[in-house]
Amino acid sequence: MRIAILYGGKSGEHEVSLRSAASVVRNLDKSHKVHLIGITRRGAWHLQPDSVLADCLEGELPLDLRSDAPVVLVVPGTGLRVYGARGSADLPLDVVFPVLHGTYGEDGTIQGLLECADLAYVGADVLGSAVGMDKELAKALWKSIGLPTVPSITASNADLKNIDMLASKVESLLGWPAFIKPVRGGSSVGASKVENRAELESAAQKALLCDNKILIEPFIHGREIECSVLGNDNPRAFPPGEIVPSHEFYDYEAKYIDPDGAALIIPAELDDDARRHIMEIAVSAYTTAGMSGMARVDFFIDKKNDTIYLNEANTIPGFTSISMYPKMCEAGGLPYPALLDELLSLAVERKRSRVNLHYERV
Ligand SMILES: Nc1ncnc2c1ncn2[C@@H]1O[C@H](COP(=O)(O)OP(=O)(O)O)[C@@H](O)[C@H]1O
Ligand SMILES: [Mg+2]
243: three-class secondary structure by DSSP: strand
From ligand 1's centre to the CA of 188, what distance in Å? 7
Determine whether the shortest distance from the Cβ of 298 to ligand 1 is under 6 A: yes
pLDDT band with cut points at 50, 70 and 90 for residue 103: confident
From ligand 1's centre to the CA of 204, what distance in Å? 15
User: Per-residue pLDDT averaged across 7-30, rounded?
Assistant: 95
167: three-class secondary structure by DSSP: helix
Predicted pLDDT at 360:
83
Determine whether the shortest distance from the Cβ of 111 to ligand 1 is under 6 A: no
User: Per-residue pLDDT averaged across 191-211, rounded?
Assistant: 97
For residue 350, pLDDT over 90 is answered with: yes
List CB contacts of 259: < 8 A, sequence separation 6 or more: none
Residue nearest to atom 9 of ligand 1 (CA): 179
Ligand nearest to the CA of 253: 1
Give the nearest ligand 1 atom to 220 CA: 3
CA distances from 93 to 16, 79, 140, 156 (A): 25, 8, 37, 43
Give the nearest ligand 1 atom to 191 CA: 12
Give the span between the Cα atoms of 358 and 338, in whole angstroms: 34
Determine whether the shortest distance from the Cβ of 133 to ligand 1 is under 6 A: no
264: three-class secondary structure by DSSP: strand
Predicted pLDDT at 180:
98
Determine whether the shortest distance from the Cβ of 346 to ligand 1 is under 6 A: no
Predicted pLDDT at 123:
98
Determine whether the shortest distance from the Cβ of 191 to ligand 1 is under 6 A: yes
User: Per-residue pLDDT averaged across 88-93, rounded?
Assistant: 97
For residue 357, pLDDT over 90 is answered with: no
Among residues 130, 127, 84, the alpha carbon closest in space to that of 107 is found at: 130
Determine whether the shortest distance from the Cβ of 249 to ligand 1 is under 6 A: yes
From ligand 2's centre to the CA of 338, what distance in Å? 25
C-alpha torsion 276→136→347→6, nearest 10: -120
From ligand 1's centre to the CA of 111, what distance in Å? 25
Residue nearest to atom 24 of ligand 1 (CA): 250
User: Per-residue pLDDT averaged across 175-190, rounded?
Assistant: 95
Predicted pLDDT at 124:
98
User: Per-residue pLDDT averaged across 124-147, rounded?
Assistant: 98
Residue positions annotated with a catalytic role:
13, 187, 256, 296, 298, 312, 314, 318
What percentage of the chain reaches a pLDDT higher than 90?
92
Give the span between the Cα atoms of 1 and 86, in whole angstroms: 26
For residue 321, pLDDT over 90 is answered with: no
Give the span between the Cα atoms of 144 and 154, in whole angstroms: 17
Give the span between the Cα atoms of 73 and 151, in whole angstroms: 43
pLDDT, tens digit (0-9, with 9 covering 90-100), for 277-293: 999 999 999 999 999 99
Give the span between the Cα atoms of 7 and 13, in whole angstroms: 10
From ligand 2's centre to the CA of 185, what distance in Å? 9
Determine whether the shortest distance from the Cβ of 217 to ligand 1 is under 6 A: yes
Are 281 and 118 in contact by the 8 Å Cβ rule? The answer is no
| Mean pLDDT of the chain, nearest integer | 96
User: Per-residue pLDDT averaged across 198-208, rounded?
Assistant: 97
CB atoms within 10 A of CB 208: 19
Ligand nearest to the CA of 262: 1
From ligand 2's centre to the CA of 315, what distance in Å? 11
